[in-house]
């Protein structure tokens, strides 16, 4: 389970036929991704070549990072990992690594 559970990030089973509202929290299956795969998904979101983003990049310096990309990232977390961000979390992200950190231990080395 995401290390952010304590911060009330809400997890639901992505692409599952079961409604999360009918499952106790400890029964919700958790989706995980390898960090390299997750970074590739961010590459795809930003429409750049796979392997482009590594982590230290500053979001404000990326010409392709805008509010629509940020919305796409919120959707990516929701679709791929079942993580719905609580208010204010996106605002705190300054780098790609900060985005990855939002996934907690659902993104693994």
Partner 1 sequence: MNAVISAVEYHLPQTIQTNEELAAQFPHWQVQQIAEKTGIHARHIAAENELASDLAVVAARKLFDSGAAAPADIDFILLCTQSPDYLLPTTACLLQSRLGIATSAGALDFNLGCSGYVYGLSLAKGLIETGQIRNLLLVTAETYSKHIHPEDRTVRLLFGDGAAATLIQARQSPDVGIGPFVFGTDGAGAPNLIVRKGALRHIDSPDQPLDLYMNGPEIFAFTLNTIPKTVHRLIAAAGKSLAEIDLFIFHQANAYMLEHLRNRLEIPAEKFFVELSDIGNTVSASIPIAIKQAQRFGRLRSGQLAMLVGFGVGYSWSATLVRFP
Burial profile 27-41: b = 16 or more Cβ within 10 angstroms, e = fewer: ebeebebeeeebbbb
- Shortest spacing between CB 35 and partner 1, in angstroms: 22
Strands, E, within 4-87: which ranges? 10-11, 33-34, 83-84
Distance in Å, CB of 18 to partner 1, minimum: 9
Residues of this chain that bind partner 1 (CB under 8 A): 10, 12, 17, 19, 21, 67-68, 70-71, 73-75, 78-79, 84-91
Nearer to partner 1, 58 or 68 (CB): 68
Q: At its nearest, how many Å lie between partner 1 and the CB of residue 89?
A: 7
Alpha carbon distance 30, 16 (integer Å)? 11
């Amino acid at each position: 389970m995401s290390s952010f559970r304590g911060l009330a990030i809400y997890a639901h089973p992505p692409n599952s036929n079961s409604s999360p509202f009918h499952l106790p929290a400890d029964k919700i299956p958790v989706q995980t991704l390898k960090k390299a795969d997750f970074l590739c998904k961010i590459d795809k979101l930003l429409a750049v070549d796979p392997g482009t983003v590594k982590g230290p990049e500053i979001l404000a310096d990326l010409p392709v990072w805008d509010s629509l990309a940020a919305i796409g990232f919120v959707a990516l977390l929701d679709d791929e990992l079942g993580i719905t961000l609580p208010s204010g979390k996106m605002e705190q992200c300054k780098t790609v690594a900060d985005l990855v950190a939002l996934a907690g231990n659902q993104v693994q080395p």
